[in-house]
A and B are shown apart, each in its own frame.
Chain A
Amino acid sequence: MEQESQEAVQMFINHHALHHAGSSSAWNVPFFRVDALEWFRYDAVMLGVIVLALLGLAVAVRRSRGEVPKGIAAVAEMFVVFVRDSIVYENMGREVGRRYVSFFCTLFIFILCGNLLGLVPLFSTATGCVSVTAGLATVFVFVALGAVAREHGLAGFKGAFVPQGLPVWMTPLMAGMEAVGFFSRAVTLAVRLFCNMLAGHIVIYALLGMVVILGWVALPFLAMSVVMWFFEIFVAFLQAYIFTLLCAISLNMMVNPEH
C-alpha cells in the first residue's frame, strides 16, 4: 500500500476502532474531527445517548402495554422476567428480593444498552471507560449499604460485616477484613466490566491494524474481526448478566448474612 493511503487507513482505524473503546475528547463524527472540551469526553455523550435510548424505550413500552404485551413490550417483559426470576429471586429469595427487582432491572438494562450501543459504528462504548463502570460500582456500594440499613437497621451492619459465632476479641479484625473484601468486590466489578469491553475493542483494533501493516495480504483478518464483532455481542449480554448476578449475590450476602 502507498504511504499516504496507508496513513489514511491507519487514521480511520484509530478513529473508529480504538477511540470506540477508550475515552477520547475527539468525537467520531464522519468526515469531521470535532475536538470537544477536555473534560467533556465522548463517553459523556454516550451516557446521554443511552439515557435517551432508554427513555424512548420506556415510552414505547408504556404505549404498547396491554393485557397481553405485544411488540416491544413483550421483549421488555422477557428481559424483566429473566432478571427477576433467574437473578434476583433465585439469589435473594422472594420476600427480600421483591424490593430490589427494579434496581437490578435498571442495572442490567443500562449496562446491556451501553455494551450494545458501543458496537454500533460511530458510537463509543460508555462501559469501556473505567470512570463509568466505577460509577456503576459506586451506585451498587451505596445501594448495598442502604439495603442493610433498611432491612435490619443499624444493627444490620454488625450482621453484614461480622460473621456469627465469633469470639468478641476477633470482632474488629474480622469487621475490617470483611469491609476490605466488600470494597474490593466493588472494585473487581468495575474493572471486570471495563476490561471486558475494552479488550474486545482492542482485539478488533489489532486485527484491523494487521490490514494497515501488511496491506491486502491481511484481508482474512477483516473477516476475523467481523467474527470478533459477533462474539462481542455475546460478551455484551454475558457481562451485563454477570455484573447483575454478582451484585445480587453480594447484596444477598450483606442482607441475609446467615445464609
Chain B
Amino acid sequence: MILPLAIQGTAALGASITVIGASLGIGLLWMAGMQSMARQPELQSQIQKVMIVGAAFIEGAALFAIVVCYLKG
C-alpha cells in the first residue's frame, strides 16, 4: 500500500527537480543571450537562432527525465 505512494511521490519530486534544473538552464541561456544582444544588436538574428537551438537541447534533456517520471508515477 505504501510502496506505490512512495513511488508516485518520488516521481513527482523528480519531475519538479527536473523543472528546476531546466528553468535555471533556460534562464541562464536567455540572460546571456539578452546581454549579448544588448551589446551587439546587429547580431540579433544569429544570437536568437543559437539561443533557440540551445533551449531545445536543454528542453530535450529535461523532457527525457519528465517522461521517465511520468511513466513511473
Binding site for B on A (CB under 8 A): 86, 188, 191-192, 195-196, 198-199, 202, 238, 241-242, 245-246, 249
CB contacts (< 8 Å) of A86 on chain B: these are 49
- Contact status B67-A198, CB under 8 Å: yes
Binding site for A on B (CB under 8 A): 49, 52-53, 56, 59-60, 63-64, 66-67, 70
List the A residue with the shortest CB-CB distance to B67.
A195
Chain A nearest CB, measured from B22 CB (Å): 11
CB contacts (< 8 Å) of A249 on chain B: these are 53
Chain A nearest CB, measured from B61 CB (Å): 9
- Contact status A246-B53, CB under 8 Å: yes
- Contact status B53-A195, CB under 8 Å: no
CB contacts (< 8 Å) of B52 on chain A: these are 238, 241-242
- Contact status A246-B56, CB under 8 Å: yes
Q: Which of B49, B53, B66 contacts A199 (CB 8 A)?
A: B66
Q: How far is the CA of A192 from the CA of B58 in the complex (A)?
A: 10
List the B residue with the shortest CB-CB distance to A195.
B63
CB contacts (< 8 Å) of A238 on chain B: these are 52
